[in-house]
Amino acid sequence: MASMSFALNRFGAKTTLSPDFEHSSSQSFRPSTRVGLKITSSSTATESEPDLSVTVNGLKMSNPFVIGSGPPVEAWRLAGIQPPPAGFSQTSVFLNLHFLVAASKKQLSDHSNLKAFPWILWSLWKERNALVFERNRITPHSTIAKALEETEIWYQLLCNDHPPHTTTASPNAPHGAWKKPPADVVKCNVGMAWEASDYISGSSWIVRDCQGKALHHSRQALLGSSSKMESDLRSLLWAVQAMGDLRHKKVFFEASSVEVRESLLNPYRCPTLSSLILKILELLYCFEKWTIFHVTDQKNKVAKTIAESVISGSRVQSYVASGSPHWLHQMILEDARSV
């Protein structure tokens, strides 16, 4: 199963051409001159985002990042980029960028121009600046034609300069085994357990270093979740908050919840949980580097076992502790021996 990931660091992360999905944001907004598409923005995902619309001599140019508003909407229509089922957000720059990045990785046939969206945004931004500083109005047709042309040139150069290559897995790595993080990163596995017939769901996390040594772990019982998706998202939020409280700066998160994967890739499909999703993403931006991977249950077995103990063993007392649970010592040692 291909993993799903979102990655960011304070130096600017990137969307790459790998099977994984990465989302990023930094200080400016333009296509990168390096391999991959570097996507950056002057604003972060907060509840109150800046209004970047301007009016010159009575002619208003709306914020190009709020895709569903004002003149830029004509450019997006001409590009043939379809909005999400619920439409583009009128208020959230972050959700619009999140949809475009996620959809561009899927490369659906009716979304063939999605790969051009960084160039379209960059062209719209230049159009806005031309209106402000030069009183020059550029037509949407010209904007899109130029953006699509530059996109095509970029991908042609990319294919010529970087021929495809193959990689092989290490023969020493057990299939489906937990993997150690890089030396400067900790890995936080998040466990989730849900029973529709119970009012209580289980949640856990365990954070380990590059040697596989458990630094801390925690368990708690969650009350009042109306669905498995809500319960799993609450578990992820709790783990993200904990990593911030423990002052970890570079964190890889792993979870085996399909519901978490779907909600983060397609937040428009779960509007009732949008505030919870945005809170998670907002807190993630406090880290220097972060990634969320969707993994198999086997790779997440330690955290999952702890979470399941809340329900199966009625262990409803919440706690945070150093090291690892003694009753899972052997399982954690096996993970630490993996490559």
Centroid of chain to Cα 173: 27
The neighbour count for residue 260, using CB atoms within 10 Å, is 24
Q: In whole angstroms, what is the distance from residue 184 CA to residue 171 CA?
A: 25
SS3 197: coil
The neighbour count for residue 168, using CB atoms within 10 Å, is 5
Instruction: List strand residue ranges (DSSP E) for 7-113, in order.
Output: 7-9, 54-56, 59-61
**pLDDT tens, position by position, 69-97:** 555 667 777 777 777 777 777 777 778 77
Q: Residue 335 pLDDT > 50, yes or no? A: yes
Closest residue by Cα to residue 123 from 137, 138, 106, 143: 143
**pLDDT tens, position by position, 292-322:** 999 999 999 999 999 999 988 878 889 999 9
| More reliable by pLDDT, 30 or 77 | 77
Residue positions counted in the chain: 339
Residue 196 DSSP symbol: T
Query: Is pTM, for the whole model, over 0.85?
Result: no
Side-chain half-sphere CA neighbours of 21 within 13 A: 21
- Tokens of residue 330, six digits: 């052997």
Residue 280 DSSP symbol: H
- Residue 205 pairs with which residues in a beta bridge? 190, 218
pLDDT band at 38 (very low <50, low <70, confident <90, very high): very low
Q: Residue 180 pLDDT > 70, yes or no? A: yes
Q: In whole angstroms, what is the distance from residue 189 CA to residue 338 CA?
A: 16
Cβ distance 291 to 7 under 8 Å?
A: yes
SS3 204: strand
C-alpha distances in Å from residue 229, one per residue of 119, 193, 260, 315: 35, 11, 7, 22
For the chain, list the domains and their CATH numbers: 7-161 (no CATH), 186-336 (3.30.420.10)
